[in-house]
A and B are shown apart, each in its own frame.
Chain A
């Protein structure tokens, strides 16, 4: 499971305990501009979701919501925790969060609501498996198979396939893939992505090579446009 992005830092103690007990890893940030650095440092596949409290500093909290929802890969689901008198301020801000609860609610209920949100988003605490058509990735054992045939991947091939398969239908530039998947110095530069895509296609085999599509003069896309998980 990827960590939850939390605001502010520290999160109210009761909330921290409840979320930890529910099995989540938390990563709290004090300001919106710290989100990207925190992400680089603590997670490889983005955030599992976010819990943002507006109680302490409403304008910073909203700024953080705007920041994480406008990114290329928006952080979702996002649960907003507000003080009772702040509910009126949420008008016309529906796109910034997925659900809200009032701070007066017990921490246990907040955790339960988050669980439900995660379940709806198809990211609950289930075995970590990504499936798309004939492809299956078991994130826990690091194994990948296509049409039941196990693939012999190198680490970077696996990581690239995992990143692409986690965001089906989405187009990524080479630079984005390089920074998100490799993330550290590598001799190939952006062309390395082409090399690895070619290697992955070779290993997927002719029949399944089309799972990774080249998007001319942009980059690569996994699967079809407009594909959504069956659970939504």
Chain B
């Protein structure tokens, strides 16, 4: 097909014309950690034609009993120069899909898992778009032996003079724009040294790639200025954690499938069912959208993070929020899923979110009533009376919910599903056997 051939020519010619010294082949392990190997232009042609073989056993979630070697094949559409390397040492990157040596898709590759779910959506006639708000902190360094040291004491919408962390964010946003990653909005968040970058929507596969790129650029820009950027969900007790609220929409061609002007909420039946799917399956998908022990320190009462499984229009304590759109802008109708944190694997997170919503559409789930009150103010008894459940309260709890979910096993595939549960159980076991500072402070003086 001419498409593939001319993509290949484009990449090879660009490498030659721009004097690119290294091409980084990027991929992601099951936990969303970026991985790469560098190849020289001389090796590139072969990598494009045949892929690069490597030993998968060293990669989290790639290990298998029978065969360790896997093949990374560049997805040429994602070829892009990395502008921060500057003149004279041009570097480009390209995302890879992972295959078995026999050419079949490798079950452990997160990109494949998302692709499979997107294919299912497309069979039903939908394109899935995502637009995340990525929150993170700037700290002086990454040394775990002392508490994280913030770079400023600003907060929400502060206009500060020569604020070092805001300057880092601005440089980052300019770099992202230069790479063709449009930023809708960026701001200083509520907590000291906490920032948010809102990405303009794209199809979910491109967006998952983009989230990986954004995390890298944020860290890279910070490092260049001697600081450290962290996507840890809750690095500081007592202030907001870092979420990745994600705006979602389904499209049928040029039509937003969530829109119905005649509905009191402006939402179509499809949107109702999608929300209902998220609400029903939220406990099962939380292990993926919030995959670390630390994620559950963010999902606690008293902050902006959701804990109650509910939906609402203008209630920021809800798990699914329906932003109110202006009449002339019905095309921007969307849902906001507020549970994910910035340290999730975006491929798997988007896959399970979409799968939950699609299940709602397929099974024609009924939309529960809108949550009208501030849910944090209600007693457990009142919540129960309204039929409002809560998200898992710990990683252990979340993995229990996941393990019982056929939806998750189907969406992630057996390989990722089983490995993920095993890995997270191990993380929990290690955590549980730790004696924390909290316990020492509280118990040692008195017990």
A residues sitting closer than 8 Å to B (CB atoms) are 42, 44, 141-143, 150, 152-158, 174-175, 183-184, 186-192, 195, 198-200, 202-203
A203: nearest residue on chain B (CB-CB)?
Answer: B180
Task: Kindly state the separation between the CA atoms of A158 and B253 in the bound complex, as whole angstroms.
Answer: 23
Say which residue of A152, A155, A190 sits within 8 Å of B253 (CB atoms): A190
Q: Are A152 and B251 in contact (CB under 8 A)?
A: no
7 extra interface residue pairs, beta carbon distance < 8 Å, beyond A143-B18, A187-B206: A141-B17, A142-B13, A143-B14, A143-B17, A188-B127, A190-B253, A195-B203
Task: Kindly state the separation between the CA atoms of A188 and B444 in the bound complex, as whole angstroms.
Answer: 58
Residues of A within 8 A of B180 (CB): 152-154, 157, 199-200, 202-203
Q: Assuming A152-B80, A202-B180, is B204 touching A189 (CB within 8 A)? A: no
Measured CB to CB, the closest approach of chain A to B76, in angstroms, equals 6
Q: Are B13 and A199 in contact (CB under 8 A)?
A: no
Closest 7 CB pairs of A and B: A199-B180, A188-B203, A152-B81, A189-B127, A187-B203, A190-B254, A202-B177
Q: Are A142 and B200 in contact (CB under 8 A)?
A: no
Binary interface encoding of chain B residues 163-202 relative to chain A, with 1 for a CB under 8 A from any of its CBs, else 0? 0000000000000011111100000000000000000111
Q: Assuming A195-B202, A202-B180, A203-B178, is B254 touching A155 (CB within 8 A)? A: no
Tally the A-B contacts, defined by beta carbons under 8 Å: 93
Measured CB to CB, the closest approach of chain B to A46, in angstroms, equals 13
Q: Are A195 and B201 in contact (CB under 8 A)?
A: yes
Residues of A within 8 A of B37 (CB): none
Q: Is B6 an interface residue (CB 8 A)?
A: yes
Q: Is B1 an interface residue (CB 8 A)?
A: yes
Say which residue of A44, A155, A156, A195 sits within 8 Å of B11 (CB atoms): A155
Q: Are B179 and A152 in contact (CB under 8 A)?
A: yes
Task: Kindly state the separation between the CA atoms of A150 and B3 in the bound complex, as whole angstroms.
Answer: 24
Q: Is B83 an interface residue (CB 8 A)?
A: yes
Q: Assuming A199-B182, A200-B180, is B3 touching A183 (CB within 8 A)? A: yes
B residues sitting closer than 8 Å to A (CB atoms) are 1-3, 6-7, 9-11, 13-14, 17-18, 76-81, 83, 118, 122, 127-129, 177-182, 200-206, 251-254
Residues of B within 8 A of A152 (CB): 80-81, 83, 178-180
Measured CB to CB, the closest approach of chain B to A64, in angstroms, equals 23
B331: nearest residue on chain A (CB-CB)?
Answer: A191
Measured CB to CB, the closest approach of chain B to A1, in angstroms, equals 15
Measured CB to CB, the closest approach of chain A to B71, in angstroms, equals 22
Measured CB to CB, the closest approach of chain A to B14, in angstroms, equals 6
Q: Are B77 and A187 in contact (CB under 8 A)?
A: no
Q: Are B206 and A195 in contact (CB under 8 A)?
A: yes
Residues of A within 8 A of B253 (CB): 175, 189-190
Task: Kindly state the separation between the CA atoms of A143 and B81 in the bound complex, as whole angstroms.
Answer: 13
Q: Are A44 and B6 in contact (CB under 8 A)?
A: yes
Measured CB to CB, the closest approach of chain B to A86, in angstroms, equals 36
Residues of B within 8 A of A202 (CB): 177-178, 180-182
A42: nearest residue on chain B (CB-CB)?
Answer: B2
Residues of B within 8 A of A156 (CB): 77
| Residue from B80, B251, B254 with most neighbouring chain A CB atoms (10 Å) | B254
Measured CB to CB, the closest approach of chain B to A166, in angstroms, equals 15
Measured CB to CB, the closest approach of chain A to B113, in angstroms, equals 14
Q: Are A155 and B81 in contact (CB under 8 A)?
A: no
Say which residue of A44, A141, A188 sits within 8 Å of B202 (CB atoms): A188
Task: Kindly state the separation between the CA atoms of A158 and B180 in the bound complex, as whole angstroms.
Answer: 12
Q: Are A150 and B18 in contact (CB under 8 A)?
A: yes
Q: Are B77 and A155 in contact (CB under 8 A)?
A: yes
Q: Are A184 and B1 in contact (CB under 8 A)?
A: yes
Q: Are A154 and B78 in contact (CB under 8 A)?
A: yes
Task: Kindly state the separation between the CA atoms of A150 and B14 in the bound complex, as whole angstroms.
Answer: 11
Measured CB to CB, the closest approach of chain A to B299, in angstroms, equals 30
B254: nearest residue on chain A (CB-CB)?
Answer: A190
List 29 A-B residue pairs with CB atoms under 8 Å apart, sorted by A's residue number. A142-B17, A143-B14, A143-B18, A152-B80, A152-B178, A154-B78, A154-B80, A155-B10, A155-B79, A156-B77, A175-B254, A184-B1, A186-B203, A187-B118, A187-B128, A187-B203, A188-B129, A189-B127, A189-B203, A190-B254, A191-B203, A191-B254, A192-B202, A195-B200, A195-B202, A198-B200, A200-B180, A202-B182, A203-B178
Measured CB to CB, the closest approach of chain B to A165, in angstroms, equals 16
Residues of A within 8 A of B181 (CB): 199, 202
Task: Kindly state the separation between the CA atoms of A155 and B182 in the bound complex, as whole angstroms.
Answer: 17
